Chain A
């Protein structure tokens, strides 16, 4: 016990150390790298908490996909500070502010009468130099107050954790009891796809909306076009090799993860995340260009998963058990089928979220009408 506990303690210390690094690192890029490592260690912690499904998700989505987004952002922000672009295919931000060059980059406020102009905020705008990560921290007293208050929150939570050390109320029993009726062995999947399927369904809508939100940041003239400032040239031998070798394996793994999700850790998200990783690799290696966001096929594929889930849910109305219930005889195949479509859509959505808004104008032919 003590050795395991020691290992746990070491892991916790590492996790916390990285957390502090993320907060305190000198540059944004360093902090992001720290965060990716933090996520991977956290996945270990999830394993130690006997939550294999969560560990997979954390590693794939929490650390992997999130990391990809953050690294790309940090590079772009840094690229502005150091002129030579350090990431293939990413140029300097296109318009370092032609609009605010006309003297409007004074700190803004939202109001003010015409007669007596209100004071400017004491904000730290003058310290915001493009690309510079540091500077502009709030004053010492503010930081002290922040420390005290967040310390109080931590103390409260820690007190509760210590106070209620005993076993917590649990739905594990209830969750396992009904699994056979669904033809499943993995209780987490059972919760996600059956007991709390409404949450999962709504969360699919959240994903769609997030994608819509990211796409909404496309400039009007490139609407319908492809993400990334320009096509990534196929070069860089090692990356190409990796991008040719890994995807077939990845796809097999993803299908496996999806399939075992019924009984063991795994499922739509995890499988989808692995597919996403493969796809991003292929895109980065320049083997396949990112798809245009105006593509009809892409839109249909993205919507297919949530639509299938919705359709199955609504079909439940013909059953006595109602919306989002599965007839016992075909529960398992039905669930697997829904999950398969979902996996594909999730992979696409996650990948597109990483790729970001369109930055290249579409071919006239591929514009959606």
Chain B
């Protein structure tokens, strides 16, 4: 058992936990959190793969690491946008919910 394997297993569990939370949590904010867990698990898998690719004096393969950095920033932007949407939904309907309100009349 190497540390990389250990973190690999951790990432597998995080992915599962994220998926489960995404499914069962009814509140959108909690869904956003679960989504971040899912994302973290995915990034961690990149990290494990990078670690296993350590070579040329580097502690890990820089390519997947760079991808993770890009990924984290995208994930943050996603969180910010989703949260902003959620807050606006809350402002408009008074409920933080994913239930589709009936559309009003209009083209």
Residues from chain B with a CB closer than 8 A to the CB of A95 are 91-92, 94
- Beyond A50-B60, A171-B62, A206-B74, whether A107 also contacts B5 by CB under 8 A is no
Q: Which of A72-80, A244-252, A296-304, A333-341 contacts B (4 or more CB under 8 A)?
A: A72-80
Q: How far does the alpha carbon of A361 sit from the alpha carbon of B12 in the complex, in Å?
A: 47
In the complex, residue of chain B having the shortest beta-carbon distance to the beta carbon of A58: B72
B interface residues, how many (CB within 8 angstroms): 90
CB distance from B79 to the nearest CB of A (A): 5
Q: Name B's interface SS.
A: helix
Do residues B40 and A62 form an inter-chain contact, with CB atoms below 8 A?
Answer: yes
A280 within 8 A of B: no
Q: How far does the alpha carbon of A12 sit from the alpha carbon of B58 in the complex, in Å?
A: 23
Q: How far does the alpha carbon of A306 sit from the alpha carbon of B64 in the complex, in Å?
A: 23
Do residues A133 and B6 form an inter-chain contact, with CB atoms below 8 A?
Answer: no
Do residues B29 and A74 form an inter-chain contact, with CB atoms below 8 A?
Answer: yes
Q: How far does the alpha carbon of A162 sit from the alpha carbon of B69 in the complex, in Å?
A: 25
Residues from chain A with a CB closer than 8 A to the CB of B83 are 69-70, 72-73, 356
Residues from chain B with a CB closer than 8 A to the CB of A137 are 24-26
Residues from chain A with a CB closer than 8 A to the CB of B75 are 62, 66
Residues from chain A with a CB closer than 8 A to the CB of B24 are 137-138, 142-143, 146
CB distance from B39 to the nearest CB of A (A): 9
| B37-54 to A contact mask, C-beta < 8 Å, 1/0 | 100100111011111111
Q: How far does the alpha carbon of A51 sit from the alpha carbon of B59 in the complex, in Å?
A: 7
Other-chain residue from A97, A142, A173 in contact with B56 (beta carbon distance below 8 A): A173
Q: How far does the alpha carbon of A196 sit from the alpha carbon of B68 in the complex, in Å?
A: 13
A158 within 8 A of B: yes
Q: How far does the alpha carbon of A214 sit from the alpha carbon of B79 in the complex, in Å?
A: 10
Do residues A77 and B37 form an inter-chain contact, with CB atoms below 8 A?
Answer: no
- Beyond A165-B2, A188-B66, whether A23 also contacts B34 by CB under 8 A is yes
| A1-30 to B contact mask, C-beta < 8 Å, 1/0 | 000110011001001100110110000100
Q: How far does the alpha carbon of A166 sit from the alpha carbon of B29 in the complex, in Å?
A: 39
Do residues A172 and B7 form an inter-chain contact, with CB atoms below 8 A?
Answer: no
Do residues B66 and A196 form an inter-chain contact, with CB atoms below 8 A?
Answer: yes
| B85-96 to A contact mask, C-beta < 8 Å, 1/0 | 111101111111
Q: How far does the alpha carbon of A128 sit from the alpha carbon of B43 in the complex, in Å?
A: 33
Q: How far does the alpha carbon of A100 sit from the alpha carbon of B93 in the complex, in Å?
A: 6
Chain B contacts to A: CB under 8 angstroms: 1-21, 23-27, 29-30, 32-34, 36-37, 40, 43-45, 47-63, 65-70, 72-81, 83-88, 90-97, 99-104
Q: List 12 A-B contacts (CB under 8 A).
A: A12-B7, A69-B83, A93-B87, A100-B101, A108-B99, A109-B100, A136-B26, A146-B20, A150-B19, A157-B12, A169-B53, A172-B56
Beyond contacts A49-B3, A93-B90, A136-B26: 12 other A-B pairs, Cβ-Cβ < 8 A, are A38-B40, A48-B3, A61-B73, A95-B92, A96-B94, A109-B102, A110-B103, A135-B26, A196-B63, A196-B67, A203-B74, A217-B85
